[in-house]
């Protein structure tokens, strides 16, 4: 936006945009505007992560109906591209949020996601699905995701983790609705629309925080996100296929199982984070990553539908924590010293996760052979990679614990 001009020659600072607390004043930790931001964030999560976490339903349909000639690995690239752009675009959207362009990001993101779903309903070929769902929808989602959690982060302190958890419930709601709706409406063009949020204040910010690259705590935290999200979507993407091929369940049952898994994530997004101000968001994230590793390895031994349902529900709960807790953990002063660059650092850190998302499921797809019921190699791969992420996260956990003792 152009700056105002004093006496026709000397530019002055742009007026602050309304809607957010002044960064020089104490964070309100609530209030009407703050909770409306949470509601808006809920809508963003529902329309972005809700559909992304339901990609297993899309892939099952593509495998059996629309794109029969494509391999599992090729189809996984669609979901991976969608998830990758959802996260990686934050490296640009985060700094733009810090500069005050929240509404511009929301309008453009909403337009692209709507356009992507419109075009998906008309797509018949692999490249058409990739461009509409993978690229267009992914770009639009990415423009809205990081700004939505950054907006919430700067308006809460003690209740920050819980507020982010409430907003991320949109993923669980979308994850329950969309697989079932898609199953019923797979042959009917449809549109899922997105809502918009309040706007932030304009300020000069660098597009990239170079100082973060010299901080081992931030770098290892980001590296842990890369490995954790390298494995994160593998169980979600292959729930329908594993239930149908390995456990011999019906197609309908497998789609409902994915919906149940996403419903389980609602608990993970709220209940653990309600206690985050006492237990610590990073501690909850670390413990959940450990449990997630155990659950992925336990997936290997499952031979009964009932056991798989239980494992999937628990994975849903843990996945809810894994996708919500990092944003709250990143806001800790030991990882992000200044909230003035929270959008930038969120974008940088989540870009590492995006790289993992991009290649994780295609690698797993290359290791899976649905026709011969071969899932073991992909299961071992995802469990091992998740364990590496836990190892990287150990150092930031120690640093944060030391920070608490000395402050």
Question: Cβ neighbours of residue 204 under 8 Å, at least 6 residues apart?
Answer: 99
In tens, the pLDDT along 213-237 reads: 888 999 999 999 999 999 988 888 8
The strand pair at 10-11 and 5-6 is best described as antiparallel
In tens, the pLDDT along 186-203 reads: 644 433 332 223 334 444
CA atoms of 227 and 218, how far apart (whole Å): 15
Q: Are residues 174 and 322 in the same domain?
A: no
Question: Cβ neighbours of residue 260 under 8 Å, at least 6 residues apart?
Answer: 176, 309, 312, 313, 316
Q: Are residues 359 and 236 in the same domain?
A: yes
**Residue 200 within any structural domain of the chain:** no
Residue 373 gets the label, from left (phi > 0), alpha (psi -120 to 50) or beta, of left
Written as six digits, the tokens of 74 are 């090729």
pLDDT at 249: 82
Q: Are residues 237 and 264 in the same domain?
A: yes
pLDDT at 29: 67
pLDDT at 208: 66
Q: Are residues 249 and 367 in the same domain?
A: yes
* pTM score of the predicted model: 0.63
Of 154, 187, 220, which marks where a domain is finished? 187
**Mean pLDDT to the nearest integer, 52-75:** 80
CA atoms of 232 and 342, how far apart (whole Å): 24
In tens, the pLDDT along 87-137 reads: 888 888 888 888 888 899 999 999 999 999 888 888 889 999 999 999 999
pLDDT at 15: 36
Check which CATH number belongs to the domain holding 60 and give it: 1.20.1250.20
Q: Round to the nearest angstrom and report the end-to-end CA distance of the chain.
A: 40
Written as six digits, the tokens of 338 are 């200044």
Instruction: Return the closest-CA partner of residue 317 out of 300, 301, 294.
Output: 294
pLDDT at 268: 80
Domain span at residue 46 reads: 29-187
CA atoms of 128 and 67, how far apart (whole Å): 11
Burial of 180 (0-12, 13-18, 19+ CB in 10 A): middle
HSE of 159, CA atoms in CB hemisphere, 13 A: 14
**Residue 270 within any structural domain of the chain:** yes
pLDDT at 243: 85
DSSP H or E segment with residue 239? helix 216-241
Written as six digits, the tokens of 266 are 């609602």
- The share of the chain scoring above pLDDT 90, in percent, equals 21
CB 158 within 8 A of CB 331: no
Q: Are residues 182 and 235 in the same domain?
A: no
DSSP state of 5: E
Q: Are residues 155 and 239 in the same domain?
A: no
**Residue 7 within any structural domain of the chain:** no
Give DSSP secondary structure letters for 253-322.
HHHHHHHHHHHHHHHHHHHHHHTHHHH-HHHHHHHHHHHHHHHHHHGGG--SHHHHHHHHHHHHHHHHHH
**Residue 42 within any structural domain of the chain:** yes
CA atoms of 98 and 341, how far apart (whole Å): 7
- State the pLDDT confidence band at 367, using cuts at 50, 70 and 90: confident
Q: Are residues 315 and 361 in the same domain?
A: yes
Q: Among the listed ranges 54-63, 228-237, 289-298, 301-310, which one has the minimum average pLDDT value?
A: 54-63
Q: Are residues 89 and 218 in the same domain?
A: no
- State the pLDDT confidence band at 27, using cuts at 50, 70 and 90: low
Q: Are residues 117 and 209 in the same domain?
A: no
Written as six digits, the tokens of 99 are 């500069």
CB 41 within 8 A of CB 170: yes
DSSP state of 229: H
- The share of the chain scoring above pLDDT 70, in percent, equals 86
pLDDT at 17: 39
CA atoms of 318 and 118, how far apart (whole Å): 32
**Residue 351 within any structural domain of the chain:** yes
Q: With 90 as the cut, is the pLDDT of residue 211 above it?
A: no
Identify the residue with better confidence: 227 or 77: 227
pLDDT at 120: 86
pLDDT at 252: 75
Q: Are residues 149 and 209 in the same domain?
A: no
Q: Are residues 41 and 89 in the same domain?
A: yes
Q: Among the listed ranges 82-91, 156-165, 265-274, which one has the minimum average pLDDT value?
A: 265-274
**Residue 375 within any structural domain of the chain:** yes
In tens, the pLDDT along 303-359 reads: 888 888 888 889 988 988 898 888 888 888 888 887 777 778 888 888 888 888 888
**Residue 20 within any structural domain of the chain:** no
**Residue 193 within any structural domain of the chain:** no
- State the pLDDT confidence band at 28, using cuts at 50, 70 and 90: low
Q: Are residues 321 and 354 in the same domain?
A: yes
- Whole-number mean pLDDT of the chain? 80
User: What's the domain count of the chain?
Assistant: 2
């Amino acid at each position: 936006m152009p700056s105002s001009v004093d006496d026709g020659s000397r530019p002055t600072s742009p007026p602050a945009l309304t809607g957010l607390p002044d960064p020089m004043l104490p964070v309100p930790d609530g209030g009407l505007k703050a909770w409306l931001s949470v509601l808006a964030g809920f809508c963003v999560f529902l329309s972005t992560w809700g559909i992304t976490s339901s990609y297993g339903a899309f892939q099952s349909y593509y495998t059996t109906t629309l794109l029969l000639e494509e391999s599992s690995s090729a189809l996984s690239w669609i979901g991976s591209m969608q998830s990758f752009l959802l996260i990686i675009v934050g490296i640009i959207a985060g700094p733009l949020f810090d500069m005050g362009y929240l509404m511009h990001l929301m309008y453009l993101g909403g337009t692209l996601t709507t356009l992507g779903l419109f075009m998906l309903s008309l797509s018949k070929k692999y490249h058409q699905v990739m461009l509409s769902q993978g690229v267009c929808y992914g770009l639009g989602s990415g423009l809205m995701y990081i700004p939505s959690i950054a907006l919430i982060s700067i308006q809460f302190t003690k209740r920050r983790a819980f507020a982010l958890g409430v907003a991320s419930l949109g993923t669980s709601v979308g994850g329950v609705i969309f697989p079932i709706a898609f199953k019923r409406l797979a042959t009917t063009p449809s549109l899922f629309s997105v809502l918009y949020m309040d706007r932030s204040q304009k300020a000069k910010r660098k597009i990239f925080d170079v100082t973060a690259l010299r901080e081992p705590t931030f770098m290892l935290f980001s590296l842990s996100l890369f490995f954790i999200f390298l494995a994160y979507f593998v169980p979600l993407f292959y729930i329908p296929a594993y239930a149908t091929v390995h456990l011999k369940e019906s197609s309908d049952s497998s789609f409902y199982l994915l919906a149940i898994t996403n419903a389980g994530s609602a608990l993970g997004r709220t209940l653990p984070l309600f206690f985050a101000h006492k237990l610590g968001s990073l501690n909850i994230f670390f413990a959940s990553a450990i449990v997630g590793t155990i659950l992925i390895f336990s997936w290997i031994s499952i031979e009964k539908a009932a056991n798989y349902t239980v494992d999937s529900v628990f994975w849903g709960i843990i996945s809810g924590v894994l996708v919500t807790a990092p944003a709250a953990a990143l806001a800790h002063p030991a990882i992000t010293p200044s909230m003035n660059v929270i959008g930038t650092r969120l974008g940088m850190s989540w870009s590492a996760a995006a790289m993992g998302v991009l290649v994780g499921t295609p690698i797993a797809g290359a290791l899976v052979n649905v026709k011969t019921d071969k899932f073991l190699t992909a299961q071992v791969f995802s469990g091992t990679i998740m364990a590496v992420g836990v190892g990287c996260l150990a150092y930031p956990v120690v640093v944060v614990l030391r920070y608490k003792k000395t402050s």
